[in-house]
Amino acid sequence: MRSLGKFLIFISSLFVRRESFSTYFKLTIDECIKVGYNSILIVAIVSTFMGAVTTIQTAFNLVSPFIPDYVISLVVRDMTILELSPTIIAIVYAGKVGSNIAGELGTMRITEQVDALEVMGLNASSYLVLPKIIASVLMFPALVIFSAFLSIYGGYLTSVFTGLISGYDYIYGIRAEFIEFNIFFALIKAFVFAFLVAAISAYKGFYTKGGALEVGQSSTAAVTNSCIAILCADYLLAQLLLG
Amino acid sequence: MIEIKNIQKSFKGKQVLHGIDATFESGKTNLIIGSSGTGKSVLLKCLVGLVKPDEGDVLYNDRNFTRANKELQTEIRREIGMLFQGSALFDSKNVEQNIMFPLDVLSDMKLEEKKDRVNFCLQRVGLENVNHLMPSEISGGMKKRVGIARAIVNKPNYLFCDEPNSGLDPMTSITIDDLIAEITEEYKITTIIVTHDMNSVIEIGQKVIFLHKGLKLWEGDKDNITNSDVKELNEFVFANRMMKLIK
C-alpha cells in the first residue's frame, strides 16, 4: 500500500510546476521515436510469427470435418485482436521500452543528472517522465494495430504456403462475423497497458538509489512489475468490458 | 550572501548535521572542508534544496529558501549554478547542448544568442572546438570545465561546487580551482565549494568552514588555518606529509 501511495504521489507530481508546451512537444516527439518507431522491428517479428503459429495451432486443434476451414482464420483474428496483439506485445514492450525507461532514469539518478535538473529549478519528474508517458500512450496503440495486421497477415502467409486452408477461406474467415467493438476493446487495453508500462518503469527508475547494480535491479523490477500489472489489468478490463 | 541558521539533518535516526550556522559572502570562494562522511555534501544539498533540513533556515540575500513556497524556491534555484562531483552532464546531449540546456529551458534568448553565450562560456573555461563532442568522448577534466560552463551560462548569483577536484590530476585540479576563483571574483557571485583537498584550501580558500561529525568546529581563512588549536582540524590539515613540511 505504501508503494502504491508513493506511486500515486509520483504520478500527481508530473502535473505540477510544468514547463512550456513547446518544451514538452519537442521531448514527446523524441520519445515517440524512441518508444514507437524503434520498436517497430521487434513488434513486426513477434507479430508475424505469433499469427503464423496461432494459425498452425488452431488448425491442429480444429480437426472435425463439421467445422468449416474459415473458422481457423476467424479464431486467429479474434485471438489476435482481443488478446495476443494487445497483451503479448505489451509484455514485449515492457521488456524493451520499460527496461529502457527504468535504466535511463536510474542512470540519470545515480549520476546526479536528475539533481542537476532540480537545481536548475525544473520539476525533474515532470520534465523527464511526462513526455515518456504521453509518447507511450500515443504510440503503443499504433503498435498494437500494426501488430494485429501483421499477425493476421502472418497467419495468411502460413495458410497459403503450407496449404492448411486456402487463401480464399482465410480471407472469408477474417471478414466473417466481425465485431467492431473488439477493435475498440483492444485499443482501450493498449492505452491502459501503455500507461502502466511507462509509469511503472519511470517510477522504478526515478527512485533508484545506489550504483550500477541497483540500476539493473530497477530495470528488472520495472519489467516484472509492468508484466504483473498488465496481466491484472487485462483480467479486469476483460471482466468489465466483456464479462 | 547566503546565511544558514541552525541546520540540522538526520537520516534514519542518525544525526548527520548538528545545528550548523554560517555566512557565505558574495564575491568570495567559501570552502566547506572535512573528512569523508562528516556531512559536507549533505549540507551542500540542504543549501540547494536537494535535501530538506529537519530544522533551520537557508537565506539567500534574506530570502528564506527553506520556508519559501514552490514559486520562490524555483525563482531562487534559477539564480543557482552547480558543479556536481561527477559533472552530471546529460549523456544524451553533446557539449554545446549541455551548456545551452539552462538557456533552453530558462531563457527567451534566440538560438544565435544562445550559441554566442555557449561559445563565450566555453572560451571562458578554456575549451574550444568541442561543441559537438559527447560527454563520453571527453576527459574528466574537460567534463568539469563543461560542468562549470553549464553552471555559469545563465549568469548565476550563487555557484555551488561539490568536490570539483575529485578524480583529477594535481595540475588539472589547480586549473579548475583557479578557474572557479576567477569566475567568482569576475562576476561577484557567492561561491561555495565542498572539498577535502587541502591544496584547494591553500589556493583559493578565502573563507573556510571545517566540519567534523556534523558539527562546525572551525571557521576562518586560509591564512590562519594552520595556526588553529582545534585538534581535529590540525589532524585533517596536517594529514599529508607536504602540509607537515609546510608547518
Give chain B's mean pLDDT: 89
Q: What is the structure's pLDDT at A111? A: 94
Nearest Cα neighbor of A13 from A220, A195, A202, A190 is A202
Please, are residues A73 and A171 in contact by the beta-carbon 8 Å criterion? Answer: yes
Chosen for mutation from B74, B108, B194 (greatest number of chain A CBs closer than 10 Å) is: B74
Question: Nearest chain B Cα to A117, which residue?
Answer: B102
Q: What was the pLDDT predicted at B99?
A: 95
pLDDT, averaged per 10 consecutive residues of chain B (247 residues), comes to 92 91 90 89 92 93 90 88 92 94 89 93 89 93 92 91 85 86 88 87 86 90 83 82 63
Distance CA B49, CA B56 (A): 13
DSSP per-residue string spanning B103-162? HHHH----HHHHHHHHHHHHHHTT--S-TT--GGGS-HHHHHHHHHHHHHTT--SEEEEE
Q: What stretches of chain B show up as alpha helix (H) in DSSP? A: 40-48, 70-77, 95-106, 111-124, 140-152, 170-187, 198-204, 231-237, 241-246
Distance, in Å, from the CA atom of B103 to the CA atom of A111, rounded to the nearest integer, reads: 22
CA gap A23, B162 in Å, rounded = 29
Residue A243: how many other CB atoms lie within 10 Å: 8
Query: What is the pTM for the complete model shown?
Result: 0.88
Which residue in the set B74, B82, B106 is minimally distant from A116, CB to CB? B82
Best residue in A16, A104, A111 for a mutation probing chain B (most B CBs within 10 Å): A111
Q: Which of A143, A158, A159, A160 is nearest to A198 (CA)?
A: A143
The 10s digit of each residue's pLDDT in B43-69 is: 999 999 999 999 999 999 999 999 988
pLDDT 10s digits, A170-193:
999 999 999 999 999 999 999 999
Closest CB from B73, B91, B105 relative to A120: B105
Q: What's the grid cell of residue A176? A: 466473417
β partners of residue B94: none
Residue of A19, A113, A115 with shortest CB distance to B50 = A115
pLDDT at A197: 97
Whether residue A118 and residue B50 make contact (CB cut-off 8 A), yes or no, is yes
- Across the interface, whether the CB atoms of A116 and B80 are under 8 A apart is answered no
Scan residues 93-132 of A and list those with Cβ closer than 8 Å to B: 107-108, 111-113, 115-116, 118-122, 127
- Which portions of chain A are predicted below pLDDT 70? none
Pairing status of strand B2-11 against strand B14-24:
antiparallel
Question: A124-162 and A167-175 helices cross at what angle (nearest 10)?
Answer: 140
Q: With CB atoms and an 8 Å threshold, state whether A112 touches B85.
A: yes
Among B70, B88, B101, whose Cβ lies nearest the Cβ of A112? B88
Chain A residue closest in CA terms to B88: A113
A112: closest chain B residue by CA: B88
Q: Does the ipTM exceed 0.90?
A: no
Residue B154 CA: distances (Å) to CA of A176, B1, B81, B120 = 65, 18, 8, 12
Asked if B111 has any chain A CB less than 8 Å from its own CB, the reply is: no
Chain A residues with CB under 8 Å of B88 CB are: 111-113, 115-116
What's residue B243's pLDDT? 63
